[in-house]
Amino acid sequence: MTLPRLARCLRDRSGQTVVESALSIGIVIVVLIGILELTIALYDYNYVAYAAREGTRWAMVRGSACTLLNDCNATASQIQSYVQGLGYPLIQPSSLTVATTWLSKSTSTPTTWSTCSTSPCNAPGNEVQLVVNYPFTMEIPLVGNISLNLNSTSSMVISQ
C-alpha cells in the first residue's frame, strides 16, 4: 500500500455513521427504559397513597359503634385484607403491607393524639391511622436494579 492510498483510507469515514448511530440508539433506549420504569414507580406510589386513603375511609365507618354495614368493628387484619383486595393492574396485592394504629385524642387544648390504651380503640372519636408499604424494584439496563420502598400514611377520625 502506497502512502497516498493509506492517507486516503485514513480520511475515509464511511463507517463512522454506523458506529455513532449504534451508540446513540443504545443510549436512547436505556434512557427510555429508565423513564418507563420511573413512570411505573410513580403509578405504584399513586396507588399506595390511594390505598392508604381508601383503607382509612373503610375503617373509619366500621368502628365499634357501627351497626348498619358489613364487617363492623373492623380489625387490623380485616383492614389489610380490604386494602389488598382493592386490586390494581401492575400491583402485587400480597406485597402490600398495612400497619394499623388507633389513636386517642387528648382532653387538653390543643388536641394531641397518642396510641390508644383503652378498649375499644376503634370507638367513635378516636383516630385510625394506616401506613401502607409496597416494595418496588426498578430494572434499568446498564444501571442495575434499584429497590424503592413506597409508603403512604393516612388518618381519619372514626365516625361510628
Model confidence at 10, pLDDT cuts 50, 70, 90, reads: low
10 Å Cβ neighbour count for 20? 10
pLDDT tens digits along 44-75: 999 999 999 999 999 999 888 888 877 788 89
pLDDT tens digits along 72-124: 888 999 999 999 999 888 889 999 999 999 999 888 888 888 888 888 888 88
Q: What's the whole-model pTM score?
A: 0.80
The Cα-based distances of 93 to 3, 40, 41, 44, 65 in angstroms read 71, 16, 15, 12, 30
Tell me if 49 sits within 8 A of 152, measured CB to CB: yes
The Cα-based distances of 83 to 51, 90, 157 in angstroms read 6, 15, 18
**Which grid cell is 45?**
406510589
